[in-house]
Structure 1
Amino acid sequence: MTFSVPTIELNDGIQIPQLGFGVFKVDPAETERIVTDALEAGYRHIDTAAIYGNEEGVGAAIAKSGIARDELFVTTKLWNDRHQKDSAHAAIDESLAKLGLEHVDLYLVHWPTPAKNDYVEAWQALIEIKELGKTRSIGVSNHQVAQLDEIIAATGVTPSVNQIELHPGFSQLELRTHHQKLGIHTEAWGPLGQGKYDLLSRGAVVAAAEAHGVTPAQVVIRWHLQIGNIVFPKSNAKERIAQNFDVFGFELTEGEVAAITLLDENNRVGSHPDDVN
C-alpha cells in the first residue's frame, strides 16, 4: 500500500515530510540494508548525524535506490567538537562526502554544549553553510528557550526546526509553545519513549490501539502527527519499519489525543541538554 506523507512548510519555505526514518544507534554495518527497507516501505525523509557513524550506509542506500534526489529529504547534524567556524565547514564537507550528496536538505547543530558556550558560533557557521548551498535549510537540536532566543538575537536568523526529545510522557509543552511563537517547527526524537519509558502499555494508548485495530506504536506516531510534530521512529526490523509508516489509514479522535497528552509526567528518558558538552 502506498501512502502520501503530509509535508510541512518550514519558515524558510522548504517543504519537509512530516514522517521520516531515524538511524540513531543503527549499526553502520546494517545501515544500508535498514535504510533500503525504509525507502522500500515509502519513507522519503531520512535523519542521520555525523556522530552516528552511519552516514556512509545512508548514502549507499540512497545511491542504490534509484529514487530521484528531489524526492528525498536528508538531514544530518554537526557534532559537539566542531562548533568553531572552520571546523564546522570541514564537518559538512565530510558529511556530504560520506553521504555521496552535493547538499543535504537540513543541517542541525546537534547539541548546544552550554558549558563551552559556543552554540552562537556554531549557528553562525550553519548560516554560512546554507549560503554556500550545502544545505537547503538549517536548524538546531536539543536547544532550550534561552539558547534559541540567544542565537536568534545574535544573528537575526531563526532555526527552521528544533529537534528535541518528545513523547507523550515528556511532551515539552513549554518549549513547543515557544517554538510556535518563534515560527520554529518541532521535531521529535525518541518519539516512542526509546523503549525505556513504559509508554506502549499505558491505558490511553492501548485503548486507542484496540479501537482502531492498530498497534500501540502506530497510535503514538499518529499522536505526534496530529499535534503537529515532525517525527521519525526507528526500527531495525523490516516488518516494524513498514508498520510504523502505516499510520495514515486511521485518525485519533480529539478525546484519544487528549487522553494520550495527559500521560505527560515530565519524564525525560535521554540526556538533559545542560549535561551534554
Structure 2
Amino acid sequence: MLARQRHAAILDRVRVTGGVRVGELAAEFGVSDMTIRRDLDLLHERGLLAKVHGGATATGATDEPGFRAKSVRRQAEKTAIAARATKLVRPGAAIALSAGTTTAELARQLIAVPALTVVTNSLPVADILHRRGRTDQTVVLTGGVRTPSDALVGPLAVGAVRTLHLDLLFLGVHGMTERTGFTTPNLTEAETNRALVAAADRLVVLADHTKWGTVGISAIADLDTADVLVTDDRLAPEARRLLTDRVGELIVVPVTEGGTLR
C-alpha cells in the first residue's frame, strides 16, 4: 500500500470510529509503529486529525485548541516568523495584534521597537507587553468575552475596534486555503478579527506552513486581502506559487530543525 493510500484509509477509519490506535493500524497495514506515528504526524500537521497519546482522534472545523496547547507547537517556526515580522514595524506606529501564539511571540520581539501604540484582543499579548513596564508603549485591550485561545471577542470588542484607525494589523490564523481564505474555528472571534482587518491600513498575516490546507468554520478574509504573508520554508512549493500570486507579498523565512535561521 502506498503512503497516500494508507493516509486515506487512516482518515476513513477516524471518521467512522472517531479515533485510532497506533498498534492496531500498524498490525492492519503491516508496517512499523514508527511509520504509523509519522503518518499521524503528517495528518495532524495538515489539520486532518488530532494526535493523542497512543493514536489519534477526529478533528473538525470547529475544534479550537487552547492557547497553552498551541504554544508548544512549531516554536522554531513561530520565533523565526515573528523575528521577520518585527522588521515591518516602524517606531511610533499604531499597530494591532490579534490573538494567537505567533502574535504572542511577536509581542515579545516588539519590545525593541520604541514608541508603539499596540491594540490587542489577546490577554497573553497584553500581559507580555505589560510585564516589560515600558512607559512609551500603550496597550489597548478591546474588551469582550474570552475564548479558548485567550482572545476577547464579541460586540464589546467589535464596537471598540470599529472606532480605531491602525497602521498595521498582525493577524494569526487557524488555517488558510485557496478556496476558504484565512479562517478560524471560532465564529465570534472571526467577527472581531474582521473588524480588526477593516480598521488597519495594512494586513500582515503570520502563519506557519501547517496552516496551509487547514480550514476553520468561519472566514476572516480572502487571501487577496493580505498585504504581506509571513511563513516558514517548509511551506509546500505549490502553496508558495499560489500564495505568491494571491497575496501582496509572500515572505518565506528559513528555519532549521534547531530553530535557528539558516
Shorter-chain TM-score range = 0.3 to 0.5
Structure 2-normalised TM-score? 0.34
- Quick one: higher RCO (CA 8 Å, sep 6+), 1 or 2? 1
Larger Rg: 2
Q: Please give the TM-score of this superposition, normalised by the length of structure 1.
A: 0.33
Higher strand share: 2
